[in-house]
Every structure is written in structure tokens, then in C-alpha cells.
Amino acid sequence: MSNILFDAPGPRARVRHRFLAVFGTIVLVAIIGYIGWRFYDSGQFTAKKWEWIQYTKIQEDLIAAVVATLQAFALGAVLALLFGAIFAAGRLSEHRSLRMVSAFVVELFRAIPLLVLMFLFYYGLPTVGVSMSPYMAVVLGLMLYNGSVLAEVFRAGILALPRGQSEAAYALGMRKTQVMVMILLPQALRSMMPTIISQLVVLLKDTALGFLITYEELLRFAQRIGGDGLFSRPFVPTALVVGAIYIGLCLLLTWLATYLQKRERRSKKHIDLEAGEAKKELEAATLTQTSGN
């Protein structure tokens, strides 16, 4: 398959690729080293710039900001997955009116920038008498925008499956809901999982936009502490700490997705082995019965 899609690199190409990889690594390390040296030269690593993290109150505020970020991510992710599943099913419906309504909703909220949605919920709704907390404005914005993207991911994953499987299920008398839940979704989820996780990582990072509507999450914390003159305005140190926390959360989410994929593959392999053993036993019993006759 790989030879069909592209030409396998020869000896010269492999040497060239290794050289480019080493050269690119050296350049990247040099850039990172230069940035680190500039931070050091400008005094960003002095004790005065980092003493803010020693205070108990600031540590508690940092933990509260992490919890607020995770709360917005958790609820936004669950609602976005539900939103995506519902409107993907709507776009795959046999009823034309339902398909049109679902397509309009998905395309509408996918086209509107997430920040605009948050502004509309937090600053726009109060003008018509509907007040909303920053938390709910962030969660609803995350749900509508990322849910619309996930709806297209779900729809594309299901449509990518061979039609023969659904046709065979219909021939056995299964309803469309049964075909979707029992036949198509389990297979589609395996192929869609990397894309779903990538979108959830985007959703996690999008929670940072909440600081623009006064939501007390990680970026809001970094802005407040980084601009504090009492600690010589340590914006770079707070940005480094918050950036490291975001990287850790994204890596943890990726690790969780990888673990679930491996566990699902082991379960599927175990089921396949049991099915194979049962098939062998059935064939042996049939052969024995035939020999006896």
C-alpha cells in the first residue's frame, strides 16, 4: 500500500532525510536556546520574578484557575459531543426537512468565530433581558462551535464506511437506529478517535478565550499575576507556568485517548479469538458428526 501511494525512498533519499532531520533539530534547539538566553539576559529567571509562586494564596488561586479551566472543558466537551452526535444524525436523516435544518445549524455555528459567540452570550443577551454568567457563556460557546465541527467529523466517519454493511443489516430486518448504534458507530468511532481527540484538545485550549469575558481561568490568572507590580510584573514566568500546565493537560488527554484505544483493541482481539475458537469447535463437531454418519 505504501509503495502504491508514494515511491519508497532510496539510499540517497534516506541520507538526505536524515541530514534534514538533524539540521532541523539543530535549528530548533538553537532557536529555543536563543529565546532562553534572551529571557535570562533580561532577568526573567531572577528570584524576584519567581517569588510570586511561593505565596500560599497565589498557589490556591492557581489551583482554582486550573479547576475552572477543567470545569469549562469537561462540560463543554460533553455537550459538544452530544451536540455533534445529534446533528450528525440529523444530517444523515432520511427526512429532507430535518437534514436541511441540521445542516443550517451546523454550518451557522461552525462559521461564527468562537469569541464572537462568547461575546454574544455574555454581552449581547443582557441587552434583551437575559443575563448569563461567564462560565455558561464560555461553555455554550464551546458547545456550539466545537459541536458543529464534531458533527461533521461524525458524519464523515459514518459515510466513510462501506455501504454494504448497512445494506446487509437492513436485509436482516434491523431498523436504522439499530444499524447506526450497533453496526456503524462502533466501527466509525475507531477511525474517528484521533480527530475527535484533536478537536477536544482544541476545545481545551479554547477555554483560554474566556479571560476576555472575565472568566477566571488560567489565562486570566496569568494576566492578573503577570501585571502585578509587587512582583516586578512577572508576565513571562507566569506565562511559562501556565503554558506548561496547558501542555501537561493536553498530553494527559492524549495519553487517555491512547490508553482507551489500546484497551478497545485488546477487547476486540479477545472477542475475535473467542469467535475463532468457537468456529473451530463448531467445525470439529461437524466433522466428527459427519465421520460418525
Q: Is pLDDT larger for residue 205 or for residue 282?
A: 205
50-88: buried (b, 16+ CB within 10 Å) or exposed (e) per residue? bebeeeeebeeebeebbebbeebbebbbebbbebbeebb
Q: What is the pLDDT of residues 56-71, one digit of tens each?
A: 888 899 999 999 999 9
What is the band of 7 on the pLDDT scale with cuts at 50, 70, 90? low
**Boundary of a domain, candidates 155, 181, 215:** 215
**Boundary of a domain, candidates 215, 250, 267:** 215
For residues 165 and 188, is the Cβ–Cβ distance under 8 A?
no
Q: What integer is the mean pLDDT of 231-237?
A: 81
242: left (phi over 0), alpha (psi -120 to 50) or beta: alpha
Residue 14 lies in a domain: yes
For residues 141 and 114, is the Cβ–Cβ distance under 8 A?
yes
CA dihedral (155, 160, 162, 163) in degrees, to 10, reads: 40
Per DSSP, the three-state class of 251 is helix
pTM, 2 dp: 0.77
**Boundary of a domain, candidates 215, 232, 255:** 215
User: What is the Cα–Cα distance from 13 to 4, expressed in whole angstroms?
Assistant: 18
Are 98 and 35 in a shared domain?
no
Are 76 and 154 in a shared domain?
yes
Are 65 and 209 in a shared domain?
yes
Structural domain tally of the chain?
A: 2
Cell 436504522 -> residue: 176
Q: Is pLDDT larger for residue 2 or for residue 35?
A: 35
What is the band of 137 on the pLDDT scale with cuts at 50, 70, 90? very high
Q: What is the pLDDT of residues 104-113, one digit of tens each?
A: 999 999 999 9
Are 81 and 157 in a shared domain?
yes
Residue 241 lies in a domain: no
Local structure of residue 132 (DSSP, 8 states): -
Q: What is the pLDDT of residues 74-108, one digit of tens each?
A: 999 999 999 998 898 888 888 889 889 999 999 99
Are 34 and 61 in a shared domain?
no
